Amino acid sequence: MGVGHSHALYVHEHSPVHRLAPEAKVVAAFGLVVVIAVTPRQAVWAFAVYAAMVAGLVVLARVSFGFVAIRLLAVAPFVVFALFIPFIATGETVEVWGLALSVDGLWATWNILAKAVLGASVSIVLTATTEIPEIIRGMGILHVPVLFTSIAMFMVRYLELIAEELKRTRLAMSSRGYDPRWLTQAAPIASAAGALFVRSYERGERVHAAMLSRGFTGTMPSLDARRATASEWAAATSLLLLAGVVATAAAVTS
């Protein structure tokens, strides 16, 4: 969850995936993850196909697999949880290396791992090829309410500033010997958080004044009229269709 590396989420390249309009990419990403999530877990072959598709996207996007792997660490806690399941789950068991593991549990572990990793990978490719403000613009084109997208836009703009202020405060605090290990020592952090909220709020007021000063009258002007072309939509839908066919085949055959 390192927001200080938000520019490290995006990989600066010029690939076909990068060039694709954001709204098409968001729809494709979402759709792909949904299809993966509804695929029955027994159809292991289907997940192999999905993995190949995602790998293909990674290559097409000129993103390195190492990059994807590092970002996948975000799902690590759930991987750990999933690995525990066969040990704590109920149901009939099977002997593996002298341990009694629940069969259902093993399938469940597979299910979670496959879907979580694949889902996260799709998300990672999306962010590697689309800058966050563009993702937000794409959401707006997809009829997400403008109140939502404009708040999101401001959030993204000021995130690094605020994260840095918070980091600096904590640094200042720890350089004065503050090393909290127990919750009772959390008071200074909380006060710092409260003070930061006030400062952030006051900045919000100033930003609004700046917006008014440049003629803002309540609706954000639309600065970018670009829209996805028919062929871009075709590319996105063909990807989804392929995945859909795989999922249907999996559902029918299991």
Partner 1 sequence: MVVAMHAPDGFLDPGTALVTALISLAVLAFALRQARSQLADKAIPLAGITAAFIFAAQMFNFPVAAGTTGHLIGAALAAILLGPSVGVVVVTIVVVVQALAFADGGLTALGYNVLNMAIIPAYGGYAIFRLFRSWLPKSTGGVVGATAVAAWASVVMAAIAFSIQWLFGASAPVPFDDVFVAMVGVHALIGVGEAVISSLAVGAVLASRPDLVYGARDLDQAQLADTKVKIRTFVIGGALVALVFAAVVSQFAVDNPDGLEHVAADTGFIDSGADHAWADFIFADYATAGISNETLSLAVAGIVGTLVTLAVAAGIFLTMRESRRKDTAPV
Partner 2 sequence: MRVSGVEFSYPDGRAALRGVDLVVEAGERVAVLGPNGAGKTTLALHLNGIYMPSSGTVSIGDAPVVESNLTEVRRRVGLVFQDSNDQLFMPKVHDDVAFGPANLGVTGAELEQRVRSALAAVSGEALADRPAHHLSGGERRRAALATVLAMDPDVLVFDEPSSDLDGAGRRELVAALLSLDLTQVVITHDLPLALELCPRAVIMREGRIVADGDTRGLLADADLLAENRLELPYGFELGALEKD
Between CA 117 and CA 137 the distance in angstroms is: 26
Give the binding range for partner 1 (CB under 8 A) out of 49-57, 58-66, 181-189, 223-231: 181-189
Q: Is 157 in the site for partner 1 (CB under 8 A)?
A: yes
DSSP 8: G
Written as six digits, the tokens of 158 are 């000021």
Written as six digits, the tokens of 55 are 């790998």
Size of the site for partner 1 (CB under 8 A): 90
Q: Is 215 in the site for partner 2 (CB under 8 A)?
A: yes
**Residue list 207-246, contact with partner 1 (CB under 8 A):** 207-208, 211, 218
The distance of closest approach from Cβ of residue 200 to partner 2 in the complex, given in angstroms and rounded to an integer, is 12
Give the binding range for partner 2 (CB under 8 A) out of 39-47, 153-161, 179-187, 240-248: 153-161
Q: Are 156 and 136 in contact (CB under 8 A)?
A: yes
Between CA 95 and CA 203 the distance in angstroms is: 62
What Rg, from alpha-carbon coordinates, does the chain have? 23
The distance of closest approach from Cβ of residue 101 to partner 2 in the complex, given in angstroms and rounded to an integer, is 49
> E strands of the chain, at which residues?
93-96, 99-102
- Residue 43 near which of partner 1, partner 2, none (CB within 5-8 Å, type-dependent): none
Whichever of 156 and 240 has its CB closer to partner 2, that residue is 156
Interface with partner 2 (CB under 8 A), residue from 156, 192, 196, 242: 156
DSSP 144: -
For residue 117, give the nearest of 157, 71, 158, 84 by alpha carbon.
71
Contacting positions for partner 2 (CB under 8 A): 7, 131-133, 153-154, 156-158, 160-161, 203, 206-207, 209-217, 221-223
